[in-house]
Structure 1
């Protein structure tokens, strides 16, 4: 992992975003840097030292670089970093609306089936008896599903209030 200064980090990150615009993934990692290169020791809770922050970038292949940000430079760096992320996020691919539309249609069809009553008709004995019993079973199952949906809606209503 190559350690670079903050300005170089931002310029290389913007070029990495440009190169992976069509295809590719970029991983960004932020964390507090507590290791000074010495052996790590247990520190007391009242330790008032300020730790730098480390930001790492990789594309999963050959490109890997990072930077250390001191607490004094943190605001300046985060403003530039945030602006860079916002500008690069606008170039992302759009959502797959086809899949969302299909889910919405399935949900609407499910609600429609729950709203329609299942007609129970046919003879109680003789030919058609099995068909009638299947319909009775389906009607009972539908009633159970309606009750579960009603309970979920009531829980959502209670959660918002």
Structure 2
């Protein structure tokens, strides 16, 4: 990870946005408080020290750079940073809400189908026998699926408690 000055960071970030807008790619931006003593004593609640902010930009493969901004320089830096982000926003891909909606509807339909019991009607012999057997098999499969889902739910609950 290469540590650069503020202006260089913004310049490289603009280049990275241009590169990702022209071709496929993703950019991860990370902001966090910078502390210098990773193995030092725990901080007290009344500590009034001001910490610098660490900003990282990564494209997931080969480009990684960061900068540190002191709290005094933060408003000036954020003004330039937010202007750059606003300028780069039109190049970002929009969410496909229609696709998300169809996925959610399909999931709801699947849950509804799993919750409703399969009714096995029809004669055991003669006409309708094959239809009844299909429904019996569907009911057995539904019970097995419910059992698997219940086991998964118990495992999740056990993991949450630990």
- What's the TM-score once normalised by structure 2's chain length? 0.60
Q: Deviations over 1:9-50 (max 9, x none)?
A: 1122111100111212222221111117xx852154132211
1:20 equivalenced with 2:20 (yes/no)? yes
After superposition, the C-alpha distances for 1:88-143 in whole angstroms (9 at most, x for unaligned) are: 232112334674465377479779x89xxx8956x57544345357558979x8xx
Provide the C-alpha distance between the structure 1 equivalents of 2:135 and 2:102, rounded to a whole number of angstroms.
28
Residue ranges of structure 2 left out of the alignment (5+ in a row): 143-162
| 1:32 pairs with 2:33 | yes
Distance verdict in 2 for CA 1:137–1:31, change over 3 Å:
same
CA deviation after TM superposition for structure 1 residue 4, in Å: 1.8
Between the aligned partners of 2:62 and 2:129, the Cα distance in structure 1 is 70
- The answer on whether the counterparts of 1:120 and 1:136 sit within 8 Å (CA) in structure 2 is no
Q: Which residue of 2 aligns with 1:57?
A: 57
Q: How far, CA to CA, are the matches of 1:55 and 1:2 in structure 2?
A: 11
Equivalent-residue separation in structure 1 for 2:41 and 2:109 (angstroms): 60
Q: Give how far 1:87 is off.
A: 2.6
What is the distance in 2 between the residues matched to 1:124 and 1:44? 75
Give the number of equivalent residue pairs.
138
Q: What SS is found at the alignment partner of 2:91?
A: coil
When the two structures are superposed, what TM-score results if normalisation uses the length of structure 1?
0.60
SS in 1 for 2:30: strand
Gaps of 5+ in 1: 142-161
Task: After superposition, give the CA deviation of every residue in 1:62-83 in whole Å (9 maximum; x if it has no partner).
Answer: 3222111111111222232223
